[in-house]
Amino acid sequence: MARLVLQGVSKRFGDVQALAPLDLEIAQGQFVGVLGPSGCGKTTLLRCLAGLELPDTGQIRFGERTVVNVEAGVQEPPQRRGLGMVFQDLALWPHLTVFENVAYTLRARKDTADLDDRVHDALAKVQLPIHAGRYPHQLSGGQQQRVAFARAVVDRPPVLLMDEPLSALDAALRVDLRAELTALTRSLGLTAVYVTHDQHEAMSMADRILVMQDGFVRQDGPPETVYQRPTSRFVADFIGRLNTLDRPLSSVLPVGAAAPAAGSTNGDGEQERTASPAGTADGGEVRAVVPADTADHRRADVSADDVHARIDASTEVALTGNGVAGVRPEKVHLTANGRDMVALPAEVELVSYLGDHYELRCRLELADRPWVVMSDRRIEVGERVLLHLAPDDLIVTEQ
């Protein structure tokens, strides 16, 4: 196990900035999911950690050991970093048995003390001890994946790297295996970096997520924070789905909330502050009511253009300029639930049955794109409905 530290690590391929200068610290035993679309830089980051790419700048440390220092000319080769790695294509030797595939790592490093016991222990952890004498072609896809994982952890590496290891498996098997891999990784206390384009994998497996785009980390935080409080339109759209409002907010949700006076303290002892972000059209302001003892990662009530919304206390955007507001599908209801809710008229244009619920696509006058809404009953195409949402369920981000 080891703490993982990157300082100013970057990588270019010609004119393409594959990885912008990155400062990152991963705590010992932490499971980090690196998530993003194709070409975002996530695989380049993993290859730099593994030693398969030399960064153009920066340093990488595993615990107290420096494995990369570009300025000092330090670049440990992959085989000396002692990492475990699970590849997308698994890379099992077809002519070796399961036992020999798992033992290969130990033999290659000439670390053969108690080899039999260590290999059998690794196979037992992935529930494959009785298959030790089989060959990869005699195993199912899920069993092959378990062999690859056993090989990666047989020598208890300080850091485990996984590059979309479940992408070739069918959907049901992926769900089962991601739970198994998560439990095994945590039970072994490994520091893990898991690269994927699948948001469900990242959200369910990792205790911290990095969302990447164009070589930059756009957001870094716990899955709940990234999903509930995205800091940009890109993150909000990429993690889950977002029903966006594409009209002036004062015309969408006229709930009559007056913004507090800037710099004052309200009757509940909450400190009020005003922000005028750079690049905001019309000099628009956001006034946030922030509890005085609130840390930056907490949420704050925002009033702007007579609209109550929700925003992360560390992110200040102007709704009249560079801000965008939306709501997650699960926060939109076909009936009011007793809260102070706003009803938006819509027309159902598509109905999909997904087993445990119906998914509706609804057209609104106030949105350029159809909204996705969940329902426990079937509603016919063309039917007019009212979509209810609570203003404090709004997600407000920068554009």
Average pLDDT over residues 38-64: 96
Task: State pLDDT tens for residues 63-88.
Answer: 999 999 999 999 999 989 989 999 88
Average pLDDT over residues 263-291: 32
* Structure confidence at residue 275 as a pLDDT band (50, 70, 90): very low
For 108-215, list the strands marked E by DSSP: 159-163, 191-196, 208-213
- Residue 42, pLDDT > 50, answer yes
Task: State pLDDT tens for residues 345-363.
Answer: 999 999 999 999 999 999 9
Angle (nearest 5°) at CA 144 between 142 and 149: 95
Higher pLDDT, 17 or 250: 17
* Structure confidence at residue 280 as a pLDDT band (50, 70, 90): very low
Average pLDDT over residues 225-235: 91
Where do the H-state alpha helices sit in 109-170? Answer: 115-125, 141-153
Among 28-32, 215-219, 232-236, the range scoring the smallest mean pLDDT is 232-236
CA distance 275 to 279: 12
- Which residue ranges make up each domain of the chain? 4-238, 241-399
Among 64-73, 148-157, 193-202, 330-339, the range scoring the smallest mean pLDDT is 330-339
The CATH fold assigned to 4-238 is Rossmann fold (3.40.50)
- Is-same-fold flag (4-238; 241-399)? no
- Residue 319, pLDDT > 50, answer no
| Contact criterion met (CB below 8 Å) for 65 and 226 | no
Residue 320: its pLDDT value, please?
Answer: 46
Please give the structure tokens belonging to residue 52: 């398969």
Radius of gyration for the chain, computed over Cα atoms and rounded to the nearest angstrom: 25
- Residue 294, pLDDT > 60, answer no
Q: Which amino acid is at 35?
A: L
CATH 2.40.50.140, domain 241-399, yes or no: yes
Q: Which amino acid is at 343?
A: A
CA distance 260 to 264: 8
CA distance 307 to 225: 23
Among 107-121, 276-290, 302-316, the range scoring the smallest mean pLDDT is 276-290
Residue 387: its pLDDT value, please?
Answer: 92
- Residue 389, pLDDT > 70, answer yes
Residue 257: its pLDDT value, please?
Answer: 31
Closest CA to 289 of 276, 278, 277, 274: 274
- Averaged confidence pLDDT in the chain: 81
Task: State pLDDT tens for residues 121-158.
Answer: 999 999 999 999 999 999 999 999 999 999 999 998 98
Angle (nearest 5°) at CA 290 between 288 and 293: 165
Residue 110: its pLDDT value, please?
Answer: 87
